[in-house]
Chains A and B, each alone.
Chain A
Amino acid sequence: MAETSHGTGGLTFDAKKRSWPNEANVFIALILILLAFEALGMTFRDQSFLFDFNEARDGTILNMARIKIIILQVSIVGIIALGATQVIISGGIDLSAGSVVGLTAMVTMSFAQTGMVNGNPNPKSLFGPEWMDLPVILPVLLGLIVGIGAGMINGLLIAFTRIPPFIATLGMMVAARGAAQWWSRGQPVSFPTESFAAIGDGMMPVVWFAGLAILFHLILKYTVYGKHTYAIGSNEDAARMSGIKVARHKTLVYAIAGALAGFSAIVLASKNLTAQTGMGLMYELDAIAMAVIGGVSLSGGRGSIIGTCIGALIFGVIISGFTFLRLDAYYQEMVKGVIIVGAVVLDQWRQQRASLKG
């Protein structure tokens, strides 16, 4: 097609040289996995995975209940993954998110309790009646402060003591879990006020996840903050020499990741109407896996929020797909492992090819 000239300085558009965005690959993987479950379902269960041919239960041909749960079950970890994406793009890693979720859930729920349950005084009261029925903004703000605080400690340690992010956030992971257990001596905290329960009710986790994903997509793509994050992850020395305040910026990135972990804890506690010290266990690894499957490079500098969101959807499809096929949880974990490693292998292979092409 010789006539597809754009006339810019004699450069012609060459379809062969056009680079295929990474997110497109991940999206194709998502479609392939969906098709695989469709085929397996038709073969072994005589039932469709995503469609509902027999009875239009929701007035559509789609099985809306299943589509909703696919997204709902990854929304809370997805919010953490938005933070993990930024940390990994900046060349770091955050292992503390899951424990920060546990601690934040305990703290936020302690100030979100209602005084009366079924007409009786709240049996799980932690601080006594004067700390009950507080306005919802208070527990939410406290939760965010805990999350940001934990994230800032991570960031300051990494930026100013120069210890590797792996170690700094590993320390926070252990310490925050301990703090979560210490907070109420291991007892669960339950029965929130109605206004607090509304935060994570029904499909609200999806709304928060989608809203925050759009927000951080725009921030990473169009703001100085985003450009500096990519710059530091690609080449920290070059970023420093071009005048970016690397230490300050890193602290900010970890603080934002902490805030997102804290917020996901608020949604999680609200959704479940309880806070337990074991909440959020291994969430950091699921979040990192979502980002990596979505094409975020662990060596920093590459990846996007869109990719991470598709990575999260792949997670959701796999969980729902295996339940749909009535396969045991063992297989689910095994396949999850294979997919995580497979995604990184594919990514490496793509990078090598790209660098060969020059």
Chain B
Amino acid sequence: MTKTLIVAGVAALMTTSAMAQSIGVSMARFDDNFLTTLRTGMEDHAATLDGVDIQVEDAQDDVAAQLDQINNFIASGVDAIVVNAVDTNAVDAMSKAAEDAGVPLVYVNREPANVDSLPDNQAFVASNEIESGTLAAFEACKMLRSMGYAGGAKGYMLMGQLSNQAAVQRSKDVEDIIGIDMCNFITLIDKQTANWSRDEASDLMTNFISAGDEFQVVFANNDEMALGAIQALKAADYDMADIVVVGVDATQDALQALQAGDLDATVFQDAAGQGAGAIDAALALANGEDVDQKVYIPFQLVTEANVDDFTSKN
């Protein structure tokens, strides 16, 4: 009697778990504004889908913790896993663990180093990072030209965490842009890291200002640092109309600064779109459907002209 009950119970459990699909998500960190928008994008999208359960874990920027989370997801029998990698170079162990267990895996936002050799049931959803820094830097170059600095302009660059792929790529994009013929009138006086932080960027910019060199442009790897630079410049009585400041991310704070005429350009990365795309890809893989292994959500340049289109997006 008890035996049949147990069997019936197990059978019932199995059928319910086959109906409701569960997705385990491991985020690199929770206390990052952009990643938070991405995370809420996933949660909101999953909430609109019938029978999709998602469980989100915070890896707190710890590679080892992230791998443990993946293994825990596999052990608890999730249908698919979404990973926002802590370290884009430390992804092989995660790919292998998921592949061995036959669980589909989707990397989101940060491009894994093994992106070109991903196993069949794994995919990557993100925006192409090379667009972001390039779009912002080129816009700055055009603005400086129209302001009459084509004969020579100087500037500073505020970089994100030096261990981060996006920081390295966006910095390289700026250097690439000021290397092309149209923009090689721009020279960088100095580039330093402000760790993505507004407070550190404001202090760093004030340190730059204290050197007393003249400059016309500030490239920031993200909006928070651009806003920090703007605060420092305003505190030192610079007229924001004379200095071109560009960032990346199109955060609400940055869009307000754009409308106020302090920030000159930023780049919109569709965080919520990436999150939703990752969930869709994970579900498709779990259902055995064909999925492009690289799904790119485009970046968009935001300037004073089109800022109103973005104020309700992030």
Identify the A interface with B (CB < 8 A).
47, 52, 55, 57, 63, 65-66, 68-69, 72-73, 76, 102, 117-118, 120, 123-124, 177, 180-181, 185-188, 190-191, 202, 268, 271-274, 276-279, 319-320, 323-324, 326, 328-330
**Is B41 an interface residue when CB atoms closer than 8 A count as contact?**
no
Question: With A118-B256, A274-B198 given, is the CB distance from A69 to B311 under 8 Å?
Answer: no
Nearest A-chain residue to B32, judged by Cβ: A278
**Interfacial chain A residues near B39, Cβ < 8 Å:** 186
List B residues at the A interface (Cβ < 8 Å).
Answer: 29-33, 36, 39-40, 162, 190, 192-193, 197-199, 202-204, 206-212, 227-228, 231, 235-236, 251-253, 255-256, 259-260, 311-312
CA distance A328 to B194 in the complex (A): 11
Please give the distance in Å from B29's CB to the nearest CB on chain A: 8
Contact A329 B192 (CB under 8 A): yes
Once the chains bind, are B212 and A57 in contact (CB under 8 Å)?
A: yes
Q: Are B36 and A319 in contact (CB under 8 A)?
A: no
- A272 proximity list for chain B (CB < 8 A): 198-199, 202, 228, 231
- Alpha-carbon distance between A278 and B222 when the two chains are bound, in angstroms: 16
Cβ contacts under 8 Å, B203 to chain A: 69, 72-73, 319
Cα distance A66–B209 when bound, in Å?
Answer: 8
Which 3 pairs show the lowest CB-CB distances between chains A and B?
A278-B31, A66-B210, A65-B210
Q: Whose C-beta in chain A lies nearest to the C-beta of B211?
A: A324
| CB pair B199 A268 closer than 8 Å | yes
Pick 18 A–B contacts, CB within 8 A, sort by A: A47-B211, A66-B207, A69-B206, A69-B207, A118-B260, A120-B311, A186-B36, A188-B33, A190-B253, A268-B199, A271-B202, A272-B202, A272-B231, A273-B253, A274-B198, A323-B204, A324-B207, A326-B190
Residues of B contacting A52 in the complex (Cβ-Cβ under 8 angstroms): 212
- The answer, among A73, A186, A329, for a CB contact under 8 Å with B193, is A329
What residues of B have a CB within 8 angstroms of the CB of A181 in the complex?
30-31
Asked if B207 contacts A191 (CB within 8 A), the reply is: no
| Contact assessment for B207 and A187 in the assembled complex, using a CB-CB cutoff below 8 Å | no
- Which B residues are CB-close (under 8 A) to A118? 256, 259-260
List of A residues within 8 angstroms of B235 by Cβ: 202
Q: Pick the residue among A57, A120, A188 that contacts B253 (CB under 8 A).
A: A188
In the assembled complex, the Cα of A274 lies from the Cα of B83 at a distance in Å of 29
B31 contacts A276, CB within 8 Å?
A: yes
- Provide the residues of chain A in CB contact with B193, threshold 8 Å: 328-329
A69-B207, A324-B210 are known; give 19 further A-B pairs, CB within 8 A.
Answer: A66-B211, A68-B206, A72-B203, A72-B206, A118-B256, A123-B252, A123-B255, A177-B31, A186-B33, A187-B40, A188-B251, A191-B253, A272-B231, A276-B31, A277-B31, A278-B32, A319-B207, A323-B190, A330-B162
